[in-house]
Each structure stands twice: as structure tokens, then as C-alpha cells.
Amino acid sequence: EIVDAIAAALGNGPLRGRRIVVTSGPTHEPIDPVRYIANRSSGAQGAAIGAALAALGAEVIFVTGPAEVPPPAGVEVVAVDTAAEMRAAVHEALPADAAIFAAAVADWRMKTARAEKIKKTPDGLPDLALEENPDILAEVAAGPDRPGLVVGFAAETENVVENATAKRARKGCDWILANDVSPATGIMGGRDNAVTLITDEGAEAWERMGKDAVARRLAERVARALGPVGAA
Amino acid sequence: EIVDAIAAALGNGPLRGRRIVVTSGPTHEPIDPVRYIANRSSGAQGAAIGAALAALGAEVIFVTGPAEVPPPAGVEVVAVDTAAEMRAAVHEALPADAAIFAAAVADWRMKTARAEKIKKTPDGLPDLALEENPDILAEVAAGPDRPGLVVGFAAETENVVENATAKRARKGCDWILANDVSPATGIMGGRDNAVTLITDEGAEAWERMGKDAVARRLAERVARALGPVGAA
């Protein structure tokens, strides 16, 4: 890490000259002024990835929802709350050489968030009618500003490789980093991660390791995939 | 504050010998293993109240949801996640001389939280059928273990005094500390609070002040209301 930091400081890391967008953290989707739908992403894996890419010399645009873990040093932080805000920030940050979508974006939001606090009334429960959030990963992967390398994440609780492989095809991204977030694994909110990298060559299971180690390994793979600047 | 701390340390604060239950923070109501319904309570006001009561010598049982602000020193912390867990912890902590319900308990929870992550499917949106959470304040105020002083909070976005006065009657509690949590006030998640104390004598608006100052004023009122131990 010290070597990476020195390399980055000297400006000769393998990702020098590369602009990489990283999304991280959960999104919060408001129900009314005081309530919201959230998810258990701590932002730890995304922050580690941002740090690892910056350590290899990349210019990192770090688009983060309300995470527990602070954003890493050495990145450009764009703080957002909702999926809609994250989408706008990502499009704003493009074009880029690569985009890594580590955020746990809410799949749904309220069809209509209320302007006033919903009150408990005797005549029944509120209707939380939902609508789908934009699919930022699929949009960017199919969009005119598509980075050369687009990486998605899949948080699964069952049939991890199968679901993640299907997700890679469906989203049109290059890689999916899949992990098992069943409560029993302790991964969501924990320090370790056990991921499987899905590429066009198949599934590659990485041993369970710290989220920092996952991030460094991913950053090295990104550097290898992008190659030297100007070599494309 | 230093005087209070010394008084508490010497064991001669006005709440010495009093056992007080304080609830604080939000509750999180699971939707599935990764998603939940939350609210914007930071737990700052509840933590300040716990600290202020302890500073006056009270034995404080501090039942807290997943708050941003850490619990104060000098209290007995009981950490919970959901409203159902908070209810159980409060009943467990009774009997007590007073109970102060500063937590922002979720009014609703999922009728059935899913054991597996809900997947996005082409055939429609998930049905978030809700049911009401137990009303811990009303239950304790009407229960066999009712403390001599029961204090509720009302977070309102409109008609604050009117709504809070109605809430006091409906819940059967002694006092309501009402505040305006409209986003424009910056109170929810902020440092200040502007509260109105509703008692059987009417509404008493306190000037806007720090949450610590609100807590100290409330703690002094509680000490006055309870009187010296053995004087009842």
C-alpha cells in the first residue's frame, strides 16, 4: 500500500491518466419528510475500491450515497441521496475510461413521496405504491458514453453465480463482482468479502478476504484490462 | 455541567435513587435481508436526555435503536433494531419512576418481512403490505407497570401544538415534548431543537436552543416533578 501510495504520488501508477467513475453506498428513497427506504450497504467495499484505484494513479470520481464509511482520500467525492440523484451524478461524470458500480442502488422508490409526514389514522395504513428506479448500470452500459470497461455488482442471497451471470448478460456490462449477502455470511456491514468475478470467460471465485484486498485485486485487474494509456 | 457531573459522582443529584427508562433513535423495520424502512432520527435528542438525567443522578436504562449519535456515558444501554424489540426491552426495564419516549419508533412494519432478497422481476413491483407497530408509549401509559411520570415526543410537520395536545390525550401520557420537524427547520438531524412542552396545564413553548440545553431543562423538570425520593 505504501508502495502504491508512493507510486501514485510520483504519478507513475498503472492507472495514471485514467478517469474512473465509482459508485458506492446505499441510496435512500424518501417516503415522506421523515421516513425512507434504505438498505444495509455500509459503503465499505466501494470506499476500498475508490482508494485502491486512486492508489494506482487513477482519477476517481466517487459518487456516494449516504454510507456509514467515509469516502477515501484522494478521490473526487460527489455525495447523493437517492437513485435519481446518483444517476444524474454518474452521467455528469462521464465520459470515463471505466465505471465501477459498487453502490447498492434501491430498486424501487415511492411513486409519490409525500410532502408532509404521513399520520397514523384509524382508517387504515398508508399505501406505499412503488415504481422502479432507473437502472444506472444498464443505462450506462448501453449508452453513448459507455466506458471501455463497465463493472457491476450483484448482491445475492441464493444461486449467486447463476444469478450474477444472468445479470451480466441482462445489464450488458463487462464484469460482475458477485457476492453472497445472506445474513449468515456477515458480509453486508462486515469487514470481509467473498466474491466471484464473472467475465466473458466465466466465473472466477476469489477466496474470502478483507474488502481492502478485494479492492486491490479488482484495481489491478482494471489496470491490466485497460492497459497503458494510449495503447488502445 | 461540571457541577452536575460532580453532584452525580458524589451521588447527591436530585434524581439520585430514581430509575428512568429513556428510548432513543430510530427503529429499522426489515423489508427483506438487505432492505428496511428507516427514519431520519439521529438519536441526538435522546442521547442528550439520557446524559442529562444521569448527570442529575438517575439510573438510566437507555433503550436505543440504530442511532447515528453514540449513547451517552453513564447509562445502561440496551441496543435494539425494530419496534418490536424496543417494546420488549422497555417492558423488561420496568418498573421505573419515569419513562421518556424520545425514540422515533416506526409506525408501521412489513406484514411479512421476506427471508430472501426481493428480486426485480418483469412482472411487477413488490407488494409492501404494512401493519401497525405496537404503540409502546400508549401501552406503557395504560399498563400495570405505569411509571409515575410518562413523557412522549411528537414530531410534527404541521399544526404542532394542536396535534401534540391531541396526542397527549390519546396516548394517556403526562407530558408531550412536541417539535416541528419540517425539513425547513433543520431540526431533524440538526443540533438545535425548538420544542413545546404540553402538560395538563397547557402548552409551554421553549425558545430554540441546543438539544443539550433542551435535555437539561427537561431533566430538571423531571426532577421537580418526581420530587425527593421518599417524599411521595
pLDDT band at A213 (very low <50, low <70, confident <90, very high): very high
Rg, chain B, Cα only: 18
| Integer Cα distance of A175 and A211 in angstroms | 18
Among B71, B100, B97, smallest CA distance to B14 is for B97
Q: What is the pLDDT of residues A50-71, one digit of tens each?
A: 999 999 999 999 999 999 999 9
Low-confidence ranges of chain B (pLDDT < 50): none
* A-interface mutation test, from B111, B128, B137, most A Cβ less than 10 A away: B128
| Domain extent listing, chain A | 2-117+129-225
| Cβ count within 10 A of residue A12 | 10
Chain A contact for B126 (CB, 8 A cutoff) = yes
Q: A130 versus B184: which is more confidently predicted?
A: A130
Topology given in CATH for the domain delimited by A2-117+129-225 = Rossmann fold (3.40.50)
Is residue A124 pLDDT above 80, yes or no?
no
pLDDT at A115: 82
Return the C-alpha cell found at A14: 498503472
CB pairs under 8 A between A and B: 87
Q: What is the pLDDT of residues A167-196, one digit of tens each?
A: 999 999 999 999 887 777 776 667 788 899
Which residues of B are the active-site residues?
39
Q: Is B2-109+131-226 a domain of CATH 3.20.20.100?
A: no
Return the C-alpha cell found at A112: 409519490
Residue contact B34–A188, C-beta within 8 A: yes
pLDDT at B96: 98
Residue contact A38–B33, C-beta within 8 A: no
Q: What is the pLDDT of residues A148-173, one digit of tens each?
A: 999 999 988 789 999 999 999 999 99
| Integer Cα distance of A232 and A109 in angstroms | 40
ipTM of the complex: 0.79
Give how far A58 is from chain B: nearest CA, Å.
Answer: 31
